[in-house]
Amino acid sequence: MKITKLGEFEELVLLTVAALQQEAYGVEIKRELESRLGEKLSVGSIQSALKRMEEKGFLTSEFGDATAKRGGKRKRIYATTSYARKVLAEMREVRAGLWEAIPQLSHDLKTI
């Protein structure tokens, strides 16, 4: 498969969806990523990443419940597909392999 089909930001969003499980809807994903990355994200960037990945078959989604805070609008809960999990695992392996391949000499770089 082509790893390059998944962008860096998309990968982060995908991982967040996987981590959040039942709570994985737009604003929650945004909050989680913001706290982990330590920077502000826009609704637009999260939403377009979600929609793109849904189209590529990394995500499925269904409507959840509505809350007053959302002005009575329903949430859309995202879930990762098995294909996405496979791709994520592959990417992790590729990364791990590459880390292994870095010579010991520059090991101290890793601690930075």
Partner 1 sequence: MTTQPNDIHPPKWPLRLLRYFLKKQYLEEIEGDMEECFRDNLEEFSPAKARRLYVWETVKLLRPALLKNLEVFRNLNQAAMFKNYFKISMRNMMKSPLNAFINVFGLSAAIGICVFAFAFGRWTFSRDQFHEHKHEVFLATFFADRDGSVQQFGRTPRPLGEMLRHDFAHIKKVCRLDDRSVVVKHDDNVFHERVRFVDPEFLDMFTFPLKWGTPGSLADVNSIVLSEEAAIKYFGETNPLGQNMVVIFGKDVNKAFKVTGVAAKFPESRSFDFDFLVNFENLKTAEPGYDMQDWKAFVNATFIQLDNPADVALLRQGMEKYRRQQNEAVQKEWAITAFGLEPLATLHETSEDIRDDISHSSKNNYASIVYMAVIALAMLLLACFNYINIAIVSAAKRLKEIGIRKSIGAARSLVIVQFLTENVFITAFALVVGVALGMFLFIPWFESLFDFSMGFRLNDPKLWIYLPAILLFTGITSGLYPAFYISKFQVVSILKGSVKFGQSNPLTKGLLVFQLILACVLVTGGITFTRNSDFLAKRSWGYEPARVVYAEVPDGAAFEQLNAALLQNPSVVSIAGSAHQLGKRHTTTVLHMPDREYEVEHYAVDANYFETMGLPFEAGRGFHHEEGSDKQSVVVNELMVKNMAWRDPIGQTFKIDTMQYEVVGVLKNFHSYSFFRPLRPTIFSVAPKTDFHYVSIKAQQGSELQTLKALQGQWAKLFPETPFQGGHQEDVWGLYFQEIGIHGKVWRAFATIAVLLAGLGLYGLITLNVAGRAKEFSIRKVLGAGAKNITVKIADQYVILFAVALALGAPVSYVLMKMVMDTAYAVHMPIDYSSVTIAVIILIFVLLATVATQIRKVVKGSPVQGLKTE
| Interacting residues toward partner 1 by CB under 8 A | 25-27, 30-31, 42-45, 47-48, 51-52, 63, 66-67, 69-71, 73-76
**Burial class of residue 79 (count of CB atoms within 10 Å of its CB; 0-12, 13-18, 19+):** middle
| C-beta closer to partner 1: residue 63 or 83 | 63
CB of 97 to partner 1, least distance (A): 32
Q: Which is nearer to partner 1, 15 or 25 (CB)?
A: 25
Token pair of 82 as six digits: 């098995």
> CB 91 → partner 1: shortest distance, Å?
22
- Whichever of 12 and 52 has its CB closer to partner 1, that residue is 52
- Nearest approach, Cβ of 62 to partner 1 (angstroms)? 11
DSSP 5-31: GS-HHHHHHHHHHHHHGGG-SHHHHHH
